[in-house]
Amino acid sequence: MFATELAPALIAATSTGKGVTGSIGAIGYGLAAIGPGIGVGLVFAAYINSSARQPESAAPNRQNLFLGFALIEALALIGIVIPFVFGK
């Protein structure tokens, strides 16, 4: 239903020469958030897997878990700031 409502608006915008307007930064951030989301999942999966195989290594590996999580989330925050920095 959304595509049937959006298609006439896109056709009208391109035929008048105005083009498609809106925030391309929001689309860019949506795509940029996919990578950190997958990365966080992989980091936590690896920690759970290693803790299940060797429970005594859970405590030493926890600091690596949070370090990896923080670095991945920093990438997500950079992805949300970039459209503001390079926007109009």
Domain limits for position 68: 23-86
Calculate the dihedral angle through the C-alpha atoms of 13, 18, 23, 28, rounding to the nearest 10 degrees: 80
Q: How many residues would you count in the chain?
A: 88
76 belongs to a structural domain: yes
47 belongs to a structural domain: yes
2 belongs to a structural domain: no
Within 13 Å and on the Cβ side, how many CA atoms surround 3?
0
pLDDT in tens, the chain (88 residues): 455 666 666 566 555 555 545 567 677 777 778 888 898 999 999 999 999 999 999 999 999 999 999 998 888 888 788 777 776 6
Q: Which of 1, 21, 5 is nearest to 13 (CA)?
A: 21
How many domains does one find in the chain? Answer: 1
For residue 50, give the CATH number of its domain. 1.20.20.10
11 belongs to a structural domain: no
15 belongs to a structural domain: no
Round to whole Å and give the CA distance between 15 and 36: 38
